[in-house]
Structure 1
Amino acid sequence: MTSDQIWQPLVEELARWQRADRKAEFWLRDDDAVDPTPALDRLLDLTGQFAIPVTLAVIPALTDGKLVARLDEAPHATVAIHGWAHRNHAPEGQKKQELDPHRSREAVLDDLARGLSRITGLHGARAVPMLVPPWNRIDASLISELGSIGFAALSVYGPPKPASLAVINSNVDIMDWHGTRGCRDHGILVQTIIAQSRRAFDDGEPVGLLTHHLVHDESAWLFLERLFTVTARTEACAWLPIRTLVRRGAGRAIPGKV
């Protein structure tokens, strides 16, 4: 199958949105940013070329002013809080988790408050008070406490669940973590995006793309470039900044929910 044949179904899906006089909405989250690197430069250059807003989930304990200086040159990038140190606290044999039920709630919330304070202090207006839990895992009992320490939104992976704050989840991960650890098959990714787009046509949840620039292979970069090219060719697609989604999600938050 040629590249054009792989991507044609997405072209047709976006044409369906255009016929309905609607816009398919996308957003981009990239995890594990710490320092300026050639991979980060490539991500920022590529997203900048196509005017794609990108939200970088930055690890607070490991970053410093070097990243601030680099992002000063990338006005299309915003910064979210990626836990505290991306350190696993789960017992051996369990799935990795930093925001876990195995430590006291006070200790975990203190880490998160420090993370929010550090990222906001470093990045100022570029920082968005959104928590991105490392490994996309957080003890459910902590979620209702996030607002009290300054968070306005939460982003994990999968379908969003009602909560006491805005939930803006990623739902298309381009990496094959349990196989090659490179990019997933492009045809499968295109079909996954189409499936999410069709759900969005009914429920309004945007297609949330999840990337990890530090581990991308060439196939991942090629996929992103082609996706950005396809979506740029139609007026029926919009890549949304995270602040727009946080404001929208705040209207759906349910006070008192976990």
Structure 2
Amino acid sequence: MTETRIDGDRAPDGWDALAAELDLWAAAGRPATLWWRDDDATAPGAALDRLLELGARHDVPVALAVIPARAQPALADALRGAAVLQHGWSHANHAPLGAKKCELGDDRPVEAVTAELAEGWRRLSALVGPALLPVLVPPWNRIAPAVSAALPGLGFRALSTDREHDAAVPGLAQVNTHLDPVDWRHGGGFLGTAAALAGAIDHLRARRLGTVPDRPTGLLTHHLAMDGATWDFVDRLLAVTAGHSAARWLAAPAVFAHRGGVPR
């Protein structure tokens, strides 16, 4: 595909395209809302410290998706005010051999899956208290429709993955992520600026044009899997957006319109 040319002979990079899209939001007098989710937190450490320090430096809040079965007691003291979302139960793969990895799939009885999720809520609630929001983040961003349908009955009020689901579940909000800078398909490392930004720019454009629901555009990171180039990219992304008049980063309670629902 040939890139569009601007300024006579210069092809826009991903940062040009992001700035141009945000400029259109500013011209329309609309806030381009964004949110940040980081997955797989279990314990304090240098990578988690770096993540939280990065967010604090740019005044951008991050929501931590914590794995209940692996969460260590010391994690509570390391949160620094970050919101917590429930990241499945143990991040264990139960998919058949050769299938894509999935913990919350249809290969086990729904009752077994939901029992684990309920136990996960109890563990995280005891660990982090009011920092925990009634939001489920499925490991590997995959969840069977029958499990999704059971979430409101457990008390969950929202679901967050990296893709839209075919059928909405009554009583369950869906707020997803659209920008993941890790190149998972090739074993990790930085995906590249243009490729990483493309999904977010596309989602912002679709929201602006009204072709998708106007929900915040999401950044997804994995603090335990990021190399230097990926950290540098996230640093620049936060700086660029925090410095733009149209971009507005939201904290997780605002993203999910948390109203006190408590899973059971």
Distance 2:58 2:255 in 1: 20
Match of 1:229 in 2: 239
Q: Does 1:135 align with 2:150?
A: no
1:159–1:171 Cα contact (<8 Å) kept: no
Distance 2:97 2:104 in 1: 15
1:157–1:171 Cα contact (<8 Å) kept: yes
Q: Does 1:90 align with 2:95?
A: yes
Identity %: 41
- RMSD over aligned CA atoms reads 2.0
Q: Spell out, residue by residue over 1:43-67, the C-alpha distance to the aligned partner (whole angstroms, 9 max, x if none).
A: 0000111111111110000112210
1:246 to 229, 233, 256: 256
Change (3 A) 1:6 1:100: closer
Q: Does 1:205 align with 2:205?
A: no
Match of 1:157 in 2: 162
Return 5+ residue gaps in structure 1 as ranges: 250-258
TM-score normalised to the size of structure 1?
A: 0.89
Distance 2:136 2:19 in 1: 33
Report deviation, 1:185. Answer: 0.8
Match of 1:253 in 2: none
Match of 2:121 in 1: 116
Distance 1:178 1:200 in 2: 27
Please state whether the residue corresponding to 1:98 is helix, strand or coil: coil
Distance 2:105 2:198 in 1: 34
Report deviation, 1:36. Answer: 0.7
Match of 1:99 in 2: 104
Report deviation, 1:105. Answer: 1.5
Change (3 A) 1:15 1:40: same
Query: What amino acid is aligned across from residue 46 of structure 1 in structure 2?
Result: L
Distance 1:15 1:248 in 2: 30
Match of 1:184 in 2: 191
Q: Does 1:27 align with 2:35?
A: yes
Q: Does 1:51 align with 2:51?
A: no
Report deviation, 1:189. Answer: 2.0
Distance 1:189 1:100 in 2: 28
1:53–1:240 Cα contact (<8 Å) kept: yes
Query: What amino acid is aligned across from residue 94 of structure 1 in structure 2?
Result: A
Query: What amino acid is aligned across from residue 167 of structure 1 in structure 2?
Result: Q
Distance 2:233 2:173 in 1: 29
Distance 1:99 1:30 in 2: 19
Report deviation, 1:180. Answer: 4.6
Please state whether the residue corresponding to 1:107 is helix, strand or coil: helix
Report deviation, 1:6. Answer: 4.2
Distance 1:13 1:105 in 2: 42
Q: Spell out, residue by residue over 1:95-145, the C-alpha distance to the aligned partner (whole angstroms, 9 max, x if none).
A: 111112122211111000001111111111110111111111111111121
Which deviates the most, 8-17 or 28-37?
8-17
Query: What amino acid is aligned across from residue 184 of structure 1 in structure 2?
Result: L
Report deviation, 1:8. Answer: 2.3
Change (3 A) 1:69 1:248: closer
Distance 1:89 1:24 in 2: 38
Report deviation, 1:89. Answer: 1.2
1:199–1:205 Cα contact (<8 Å) kept: no
Distance 1:237 1:199 in 2: 16
Distance 1:118 1:180 in 2: 32
